[in-house]
Amino acid sequence: MENYLSKLNKEQYEAATCVDGPLLILAGAGSGKTNTMTHRIAYMIQDKGISPYSILAVTFTNKAAREMRERVEGLVGSCRGMWIQTFHSACLRILRSNADRLGYTNSFVVYDPVDQKALVKSIAKELHLDDKKFPPALFLGVISSAKNKGKDAEKFKSEANYSVNAKTYAEVYELYEKQMKKNNAMDFDDLILNTVKLLIKNPDVLAEYQERFKYIMVDEYQDTNMLQYKLVRLLASGHKNICVVGDDDQCIYQWRGADIRNILEFEKDFPGTKLVKLEQNYRSSGNIINAAHSVIVKNSARKDKHMRTSAADGEKIEYYRADDDKEEARWIGEKIKASMRNNPDLHYSDFAILYRNNAQSRRFEDSLSAKDIPFQVLSGMRYYDRAEVKDMIAYMRLVVNPMDDVSLLRIINTPRRGIGAKKIESLQALAKLSNCSIFEAMKSMEVGKELTDIYDSLLIEKENMSVEEIYDILLDRSGYAEALKEQGKPETDAKLENILEFKSDIQEKQAEAEKNGEAFTLENFMEGIALASDIDNHDPNQDAVAMMTLHSAKGLEFPVVFMPGMERGLFPSYRSLDKPDGVEEERRLCYVGMTRAKEKLFMSSAEMRMLYGRTDITIESQFLREIDKQYLVGMALYDRKSRTVDRYDTDRVYDDSVYVSPISIINQIKARPKKQTLAGIDVKPGDRVDHAKFGEGLVLEVDGNIIRVQFEEGAKNLAKDMAPLTKIE
């Protein structure tokens, strides 16, 4: 054991051998915190003779808990009786033995999100609520947020204001809680909320667990929310042998409820706390560590610490300002190729591209594919494989081919149109019996008339419309974008960003076709997507460039890291600019990104960026200015003399209007003046009409919404409710 402890540095040894009383370990990026924690547990068991039964170690993921247990058992053998678990699994164990104290049986079930959604849906139906205005996900988001703030239905109702929506949320929450209790069920948020309730209301139960867990350790303490904080304080208030490990500089999940005050104010919560700072970095070169520090010190809400490394200074951070985002992606691809040529020891898996939001990945997927560089999107799926993007692809495929049953079944009730499983079964049965498509069966049974009417019109009008116009109509009139907006979930913006990135894709493909003198039709656009979508994701074990969001990169490391999109409004995100602590969290995210790099860090921005169907001139991120210039080379912003505008004039008031949210773009599409049509106007053969593109014409036939008009260039079938037509009186 002595030899093993001798491998720790001075600060790690100090933390690992401090057992009694409150201990705060500030573990900077790459400082070996997991190693320190496992050494500490091993020291407690082997050197101090503490029973594993008395130890509780809590972390956030099953993977982290498994890794910690394996490492401890590798040092001291079996540690039976010790709890090394996630917050949720630890609470579940406590509740299994004591749920009867809260009015449940100990055999209660745990509802997953699908179960929760079904329950909320039935409650909304009982209350006669419009599921378009109040989708189940909206209620579940409100309920989850309330529970994570420690508010049960009764407390939420007492604090609800008198707006119609607030009272509706309170009513649904109240019925949800009653039904859950009746069903002897809890959801994941209940596991922690009910454990806290149990311990507060039952002093004997609290005393039992305080006596058992004489030593408590909490990993990633900066990520704890209010409920988790309460739970830890309750359990540790007995013996006060509480050790928390974390890094305030890496608190990047406040949007999920994490409260940075938990780690910043730990010493106030537990007087007499011993503070140990792990400031030795074992991951990155000197220049990278110092550059990252020069950024993070600009935050006011942080503990003072300065990471150091015994590694060489290494290469400086290279910054590049591209003309546009397409060139930025090309530059990154070329840098990867050049690095591979210059260093034969490098593999593609040594490279990572870390971006602020998922919608950025499309550009890099295209660029790396063109250069035959293998890649894998680790923060989710390929752009075209994401659920919301596949939904819009399905919508567009039906314009090309209404016989496509697979695409129709994907979106037939997305968003919800009241077409449930039984009705879909009836439609499929009729389609099979009549040997027709499900689309035709829908028309025959007059099911989903709103949807079939949209396609009837588009099938007539598609030849007269651009691909972008077709997309905008589907986005608007299908109700898909509106339904996403109403969900109000943390990931809503990301989904809207992804479906709006489709507009960028359409515009670029159209410009490319026009440049080549080719026709750009919906059919050839969809064919191109089909080919792109058929490329399989790379296996995680394959040699491939890793692509992911900055949030997903936490805890990982790579020899070479690229951080593109260093622009105000993109990073820091437009969502953070109007929040007091928003930019500070974005700065912590920048710090996390920079410290993922071991040997080389590239940062870039684009003078012009196309995003969400808009092309804008950008302003370089303030985080670039904050990097000490002695650690930065390349197209350094400090050295430019040719620009007519100083992009880093700190006294200048920037116009952030170009950095609009995806929701505002959706609203712009909806608010766009509608073309004048003949919808609702009586038209008969012999009438004369005027078309915005084809000029005056004579109506030959009228069949419901479809009219046939003779123009000078020939006869055309048009949709009354979409074609830009006026009647000539």
Residues designated catalytic: 33-34, 219-220, 250, 596
Going by C-alpha positions, the residue among 279, 292, 249, 306 that lies closest to residue 594 is 292
Going by C-alpha positions, the residue among 578, 672, 570 that lies closest to residue 622 is 570
Q: How many residues does the chain have?
A: 729
Token readout for 238 is: 């007995």
CB contact at 8 A, 84 and 51: no
Residue written as token pair 């009647």: 727
- How far, in Å, CA of 1 to CA of 75, rounded? 8
C-alpha dist (Å) from residue 5 to 12, 57, 281: 9, 20, 18
CB contact at 8 A, 528 and 513: no
How far is Cα of residue 593 from the mean position of the Cα atoms in its chain?
A: 16
Exposed/middle/buried for residue 413 (C-beta within 10 Å: 0-12, 13-18, 19+): middle
- How far, in Å, CA of 13 to CA of 2, rounded? 11
Going by C-alpha positions, the residue among 323, 376, 701 that lies closest to residue 538 is 376
**H or E element: which one contains 368?**
helix 361-370
- How far, in Å, CA of 139 to CA of 166, rounded? 11
Going by C-alpha positions, the residue among 41, 210, 186 that lies closest to residue 99 is 186
- The 10 Å Cβ neighbour count of residue 380 is 17
What phi-psi label fits residue 609: left (phi over 0), alpha (psi between -120 and 50 degrees) or beta? beta
The amino acid that residue 703 corresponds to is D
- How far, in Å, CA of 716 to CA of 694, rounded? 10
